[in-house]
Chains A and B, each alone.
Chain A
């Protein structure tokens, strides 16, 4: 059996106050250089929700615009797409939505099942109705918001005296997250904040994927979370299970699940695992999900402020992909074409691209140019270029093209045209695991069904050395291709065919008995 891509959900959450208070670039600066000019300047570079909704890459992320639309724009050499206002500014898109901060704080409270997140009663009164009106927010979720909220004086006390992490709206304290243990750092208010944010944005991603695919929530039998956070306590620091925790709030009552980790490569690992679980027949429908990361908010904002750009890393990102058993229509994940960066591969870019791109294709008798679109690290270059990290997707395409030249599959003269032909421009927020190949899956499904492309390779790469456990790099890739319609789960061997096979076996058996009797 094969696993198909049923569809995907993509969400952004605009959280300007978390950029200032929870992004590690800012928290580090506050410790190292508390009176810095940068910290004074940064608030002036934050965007409004309207500006975030009119930013081209964000409209691509939620599916109102396509990567081709983005590529066709004339970006400024220095400021990229930052000053171009998208003609679509809708917060809702075909893949998901951009959620404003005030709604997200309420969603976080709905996701907190240990009464750790306190909100100011006035704040809740003001925004509860708009939260309930959000098309992805179900009545079950709204019902999780407690009737009785907290007075602001008590919230102030919890922040001042009880090490609670403040929650802010327009720089005004409106709530807090309490520590979940007095001593255990793994349950500190800071960690609980990070984890509840991840969980809540994962819930929103799941709901977006359910809506965009039209599946019944009860169809989902297994869910894999592939974010980069860890939840647990002092006795099992990364115990997990974000997947099941988010599935509970999202109402996937029929799902079990687990977490998969691999830094930025996590999503690609998780999707290969999910596809294998479906292909093996273990589960019919599997979802892969990941919420966003507060630590990376404003990660490159120093460079953005320095170059008088908006602080573009002001959104949490999330995604969820639904895989189901072959329906004869939706694009297939070809599990015979999985690229693996093994322990012995080495860290040189040549070896990395070789193992992830060239090796699986070669095994299947294909050339690098046989893949129509590659989706490697899809970071938005508006964010990375001013920070000196260059255009990350473009760098990947150049490497893939250079390898094709080395392997004699591409003329040197075609190096320059390869990125536009086989690549995409980056539109994803720099949330680590979020840009790692997966933002294209929703479009890839549509482009394959529309006959625009016949296949796409998704490439995830991870910097394992950041965890100081190994110096190894990591990566995994897989290919999504058009469904030939020949191998449906239900139609592969039909009931009539089974009856026919049994009848034939009986006849043969009877004939053998007759022969023996004679």
Chain B
């Protein structure tokens, strides 16, 4: 995850309390989603950014996961996300995200 984004996530977690923050991802692949999810839960796996060694344990979802999809107005989702749903390997993303959440999320 971009170092500046890591900093912003860290700042938001401090400002609002980690239990009140949900990180919503839009990455195009399972692996990239998993890396970003790991960064905001267990810490930066690349040891490069401000979240290195910082386990925020934030709640994190990908926008294509069913839990998130059902929160949306169906028309907005159709307009903004449905094309990408057709393109992405959604099952792979869901598996990656679930695995990271089960291991590292502290506020589920």
Q: Which residues of A contact B (CB under 8 A)?
A: 28-29, 32-33, 302, 346, 348-351, 353, 388-390, 395, 398-399, 402-403, 405-406, 415, 468
Q: What are the 5 closest A-B residue pairs judged by CB atoms, nearest first? A: A402-B86, A350-B83, A348-B80, A398-B87, A388-B31
Binary flags per residue of B43-77, CB closer than 8 Å to A gives 1, else 0: 00011100000000000000000000000000000
Beyond A32-B48, A33-B48, A350-B81: 19 further Cβ-contacts under 8 Å?
A28-B48, A302-B46, A348-B79, A348-B80, A350-B83, A388-B29, A388-B32, A388-B35, A389-B32, A390-B28, A390-B29, A395-B28, A395-B87, A399-B83, A399-B84, A399-B87, A402-B84, A402-B87, A468-B4
- Tell me, yes or no, whether B82 is within 8 Å of chain A by CB: yes
Q: Chain B CB within 10 Å — which of A29, A351, A398 has the most?
A: A398
- Majority secondary structure, A binding face: helix
17 examples of A-B residue contacts, CB within 8 angstroms: A28-B48, A33-B47, A302-B46, A346-B80, A348-B79, A348-B81, A348-B84, A349-B83, A350-B80, A350-B81, A388-B32, A389-B29, A390-B28, A390-B29, A390-B32, A402-B83, A403-B83
Measured between beta carbons, the chain B residues less than 8 angstroms from A29 are: 48
Question: Which residue in A302, A346, A390, A405 is a CB contact (below 8 Å) of B86?
Answer: A405
Measured between beta carbons, the chain B residues less than 8 angstroms from A353 are: 83
Measured between beta carbons, the chain B residues less than 8 angstroms from A405 are: 86
Measured between beta carbons, the chain A residues less than 8 angstroms from B80 are: 346, 348, 350-351
Q: Assess whether A406 is in contact with B83, with CB atoms less than 8 Å apart.
A: yes
Taken together as a complex, chains A and B put the C-alpha atoms of A346 and B81 apart, in Å, by 12
Taken together as a complex, chains A and B put the C-alpha atoms of A403 and B78 apart, in Å, by 12
Q: Assess whether B47 is in contact with A349, with CB atoms less than 8 Å apart.
A: no
Binary flags per residue of B76-108, CB closer than 8 Å to A gives 1, else 0: 000111111011000000000000000000000
Taken together as a complex, chains A and B put the C-alpha atoms of A336 and B5 apart, in Å, by 39
Taken together as a complex, chains A and B put the C-alpha atoms of A508 and B22 apart, in Å, by 79
Q: Which residues of B contact A (CB under 8 A)?
A: 4, 28-29, 31-32, 35, 46-48, 79-84, 86-87
Q: Assess whether A406 is in contact with B82, with CB atoms less than 8 Å apart.
A: yes
Q: Assess whether A415 is in contact with B86, with CB atoms less than 8 Å apart.
A: yes
- The distance from the CB of B40 to the nearest CB of chain A, in whole angstroms, is 16
Taken together as a complex, chains A and B put the C-alpha atoms of A350 and B64 apart, in Å, by 14
- The distance from the CB of A120 to the nearest CB of chain B, in whole angstroms, is 35
Q: Chain A CB within 10 Å — which of B31, B84, B87 has the most?
A: B87
Taken together as a complex, chains A and B put the C-alpha atoms of A186 and B32 apart, in Å, by 35
Measured between beta carbons, the chain B residues less than 8 angstroms from A398 are: 86-87
Measured between beta carbons, the chain A residues less than 8 angstroms from B83 are: 349-350, 353, 399, 402-403, 406
Taken together as a complex, chains A and B put the C-alpha atoms of A32 and B35 apart, in Å, by 20
Q: Chain B CB within 10 Å — which of A351, A388, A403, A406 has the most?
A: A388
- The distance from the CB of B14 to the nearest CB of chain A, in whole angstroms, is 21
- The distance from the CB of B51 to the nearest CB of chain A, in whole angstroms, is 13
Measured between beta carbons, the chain A residues less than 8 angstroms from B29 are: 388-390
Measured between beta carbons, the chain B residues less than 8 angstroms from A32 are: 47-48
Taken together as a complex, chains A and B put the C-alpha atoms of A388 and B83 apart, in Å, by 21
Measured between beta carbons, the chain A residues less than 8 angstroms from B86 are: 398, 402, 405-406, 415
- The distance from the CB of A376 to the nearest CB of chain B, in whole angstroms, is 13
- The distance from the CB of B64 to the nearest CB of chain A, in whole angstroms, is 12
- The distance from the CB of B87 to the nearest CB of chain A, in whole angstroms, is 4
Taken together as a complex, chains A and B put the C-alpha atoms of A406 and B85 apart, in Å, by 11
Measured between beta carbons, the chain A residues less than 8 angstroms from B4 are: 468
Q: Assess whether B31 is in contact with A350, with CB atoms less than 8 Å apart.
A: no
Taken together as a complex, chains A and B put the C-alpha atoms of A395 and B47 apart, in Å, by 28
Please name the residue on chain A nearest to B76 by beta carbon.
A348
Measured between beta carbons, the chain A residues less than 8 angstroms from B81 are: 348, 350
Please name the residue on chain A nearest to B34 by beta carbon.
A388
Q: Assess whether B82 is in contact with A350, with CB atoms less than 8 Å apart.
A: yes
Q: Assess whether B48 is in contact with A349, with CB atoms less than 8 Å apart.
A: no
Taken together as a complex, chains A and B put the C-alpha atoms of A32 and B46 apart, in Å, by 12
Taken together as a complex, chains A and B put the C-alpha atoms of A33 and B46 apart, in Å, by 11
Taken together as a complex, chains A and B put the C-alpha atoms of A398 and B80 apart, in Å, by 16
Taken together as a complex, chains A and B put the C-alpha atoms of A377 and B94 apart, in Å, by 27
Q: Chain A CB within 10 Å — which of B47, B79, B81, B83 has the most?
A: B83
Taken together as a complex, chains A and B put the C-alpha atoms of A406 and B86 apart, in Å, by 9
Taken together as a complex, chains A and B put the C-alpha atoms of A415 and B83 apart, in Å, by 12
- The distance from the CB of B108 to the nearest CB of chain A, in whole angstroms, is 25
Taken together as a complex, chains A and B put the C-alpha atoms of A398 and B90 apart, in Å, by 14
Taken together as a complex, chains A and B put the C-alpha atoms of A415 and B86 apart, in Å, by 9
Q: Assess whether B32 is in contact with A349, with CB atoms less than 8 Å apart.
A: no
Q: Assess whether B84 is in contact with A349, with CB atoms less than 8 Å apart.
A: yes
Taken together as a complex, chains A and B put the C-alpha atoms of A395 and B88 apart, in Å, by 9
Measured between beta carbons, the chain A residues less than 8 angstroms from B28 are: 390, 395
Measured between beta carbons, the chain B residues less than 8 angstroms from A415 are: 86
Taken together as a complex, chains A and B put the C-alpha atoms of A424 and B29 apart, in Å, by 21
Taken together as a complex, chains A and B put the C-alpha atoms of A302 and B86 apart, in Å, by 31
Taken together as a complex, chains A and B put the C-alpha atoms of A398 and B88 apart, in Å, by 9
